[in-house]
Amino acid sequence: MTDRNVIILTAGLAGSSLVAGLLRDAGYWAGDGTVRKSDYDTYENQELVDLNRRLLQDAGYLGKYEMVFRTEDVRHLAEQTRTIDPAPYRGFIERCNLHQPWLWKDPRLWLTIRFWQRHLEPDRTAFLLVTREHTQAWISQTIRRQIQTPQYCRYYMEGVRASFLEFLDENKLPRLELVYEDLLLKPEQAIASLNQFLGCDITMENLSRACQGRLYRKRHGLIDYLTARAIYLKNYTTRYR
């Protein structure tokens, strides 16, 4: 097993929970407790999520990180967090290091990753950038009642991705970009890329358990699209009046 830890960089509802579940099934530690939704496990370390919430609060961020992307928020958080006491966050990293290789995932990282990077060991950390097809992302967000136009959904997803790429480039950090739909439709190639990048031995059995056998097809089909469109049209007037 590799000794490099993995941080998944992603926007919300981009399929990263499947990637995290795959890695946890392959032996990565996701925390003593993870955040669970009503219908699935996000595999987000609960303590990481709590600390990210604390970071955002202490930095004065009041925005909707899961729906609104603004470059100025990234810059503001990067500066504001320089004055925050790093001791609790370093302590969390030390606790995670007792369980290497560990796994982090939290959509709030598009705002907080620059703070965390100041306290991580870059040679022992691998970054996975998980993205998703825009229409599939819009369907997921709309079904979850995160109502926005398809155009803004694209803007948000691309903004988060660009911010992560800027962070990785400015710190000269290697990364693997994984499209969620490629993992579903071309799992063998995706797993081969993961193994080569991470230096581990993830198998198709790990993936089958993580996704409960739903492979070789996209997550959302025509029925989901029509459902999302109906939800969108019903809520559009209220959301954008």
pLDDT value of position 239: 61
The enclosing domain of 16 has a CATH number of 3.40.50
pLDDT digits (tens, 9 = 90+) for 218-235: 999 999 999 999 999 998
Q: What is the pLDDT of residues 116-173, one digit of tens each?
A: 999 999 899 999 999 999 999 999 999 999 999 999 999 999 999 999 999 999 999 9
pLDDT digits (tens, 9 = 90+) for 92-120: 999 999 999 999 999 999 999 999 999 99
**pLDDT for residue 2 is more than 70:** no
**In which residue are the tokens 């790990």 written?**
206
Structural domain that includes position 198: 5-240
User: Model's pTM, two decimal places?
Assistant: 0.94
Contact (CB, 8 A) for 144 and 177: no
The answer to whether 51 and 105 are in contact (CB under 8 A) is: no
Q: Which residues pair with 45 in a beta bridge?
A: 34
- Calculate ∠ Cα 169-172-178, nearest 5°: 60
Which one has a higher pLDDT value, 241 or 53?
Answer: 53
Torsion 22-25-29-30 (CA) sign? positive
The total number of structural domains that make up the chain: 1
pLDDT of residue 39: 87
Question: What ranges make up the beta strands (E) of 1-102?
Answer: 5-10, 34-36, 41-45
